[in-house]
């Protein structure tokens, strides 16, 4: 399947994600779909309405009736999140056929949507990321191996996959950390106790990262500038029949493989090396880290000044009180 469609009309509207942000009843829809997903993970594919209704009652949904459930299930079927089927055990009459039991099954796209939501929810709990020099060291090691070492075909493919994995780790962890530095959670200026508790450790953490990563980033940039050797390796890699640039990508021809590997490697290059009119992500990371150090230092100075002023005012009031008869 291509990564980009040739015909823009192939980018169709996905009704399957409507339940996530429906104007009304989105909470009910999401609870029902999460129930379906959990049961699917437990290898229970077909769910009966009475089981869903019992679950919703356990969740303390006020005034939720069986009629509400019927409407919700009907809507989720319409959005193609679930499919309805019937359990019919040899009906002998029309009346028996009409009394057949409905059951529902979550559809594959909805399973993937719920998996994605679970990942996002879990990511939110650890969004602070980290600045770890060791991740740069591991990236440098595998990059040097990919460019300079003597590798057989399998080793070359394995090293490429590790390179992509190591770079993804660096990119995501630092990106999350930069987002954290910009968030309200990183505002240490409002609480004196919090600021004084973390200031020294936090500043040391940031400075150690800057000093440690600077040397390693310089070594990575030196490797990335070996353009002839890099290009040779990418061509060698793209001609291997069993090679896929990314594990999830279905890319067949050598030309497609070469293009994709070049694009991925260019991302690594641009992350560390500035362009004429654009700073690299690593340079921006250093800027943001320096800004945070200055911000905390100013906050410490300001709090110290306010504390000193308050102490002087209290002493003056005390002295004035002693003078009053």
Average the pLDDT over 65-91 and give the result.
88
pLDDT in tens, 270-288: 999 998 888 998 998 888 8
Is the domain 8-115 a CATH 1.10.10 member? yes
pTM of the model: 0.62
Q: Which residues, in sequence order, are CB contacts of 212 under 8 Å at separation 6+?
A: 133, 136
Domain ranges of the chain: 8-115, 127-312
Residue 307's pLDDT band (boundaries 50, 70, 90)? Answer: very low
Choose among 143, 141, 146: nearest CA to 157: 146
Residue 12's pLDDT band (boundaries 50, 70, 90)? Answer: confident
Number of neighbouring beta carbons within 10 Å of residue 57: 11
Residue 209's pLDDT band (boundaries 50, 70, 90)? Answer: confident
pLDDT in tens, 162-200: 999 999 989 888 877 777 666 655 555 555 555 566 666
Is residue 311's pLDDT more than 50? Answer: no
Strand segments (E) across the chain: 46-47, 82-87, 101-106
| DSSP strand pairing (46-47 vs 82-87) | unpaired
Is residue 315's pLDDT more than 80? Answer: no
pLDDT at 95: 55
Question: Could you give the percent of the chain with pLDDT greater than 90?
Answer: 43
On average, the pLDDT of the chain sits at 81
């Amino acid at each position: 399947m291509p990564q980009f469609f040739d015909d823009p009309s192939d980018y169709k509207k996905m009704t399957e994600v409507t339940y996530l942000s429906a104007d009304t009843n989105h909470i009910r829809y999401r609870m029902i779909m999460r129930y379906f997903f959990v049961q699917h993970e437990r290898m229970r594919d077909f769910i009966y309405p009475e089981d869903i209704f019992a679950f919703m009652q356990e969740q303390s949904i006020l005034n939720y009736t069986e009629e509400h459930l019927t409407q919700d299930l009907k809507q989720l079927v319409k959005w193609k999140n679930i499919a309805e089927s019937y359990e019919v055990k040899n009906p002998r009459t029309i009346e028996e056929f009409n009394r057949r039991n409905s059951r529902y099954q979550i559809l594959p796209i909805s399973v993937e949507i719920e998996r994605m939501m679970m990942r996002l929810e879990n990511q939110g709990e650890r969004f602070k990321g980290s600045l770890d020099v060791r991740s740069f060291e591991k990236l440098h090691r595998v990059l040097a191996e990919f460019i300079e070492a003597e590798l057989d075909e399998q080793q070359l493919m394995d090293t490429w996959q590790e390179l992509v994995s190591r770079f993804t780790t660096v990119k995501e962890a630092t990106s999350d950390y930069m987002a954290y530095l910009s968030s309200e959670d990183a505002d240490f200026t409002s609480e004196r106790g919090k600021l004084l508790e973390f200031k020294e450790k936090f500043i040391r953490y940031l400075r150690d990262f800057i000093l440690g990563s600077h040397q390693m980033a310089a070594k990575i940039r030196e490797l990335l500038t070996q353009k002839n050797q890099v290009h040779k390796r990418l061509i060698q890699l793209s001609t291997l029949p069993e090679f896929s640039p990314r594990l999830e990508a279905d890319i067949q021809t050598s030309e497609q493989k070469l293009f994709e590997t070049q694009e991925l490697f260019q991302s690594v290059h641009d992350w560390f090396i500035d362009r004429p009119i654009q700073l690299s992500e690593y340079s921006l990371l250093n800027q943001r880290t320096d800004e945070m150090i200055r911000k905390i230092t100013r906050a410490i100075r300001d709090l110290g000044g306010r504390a000193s002023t308050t102490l002087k005012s209290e002493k003056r009031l005390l002295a004035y009180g002693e003078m009053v008869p």
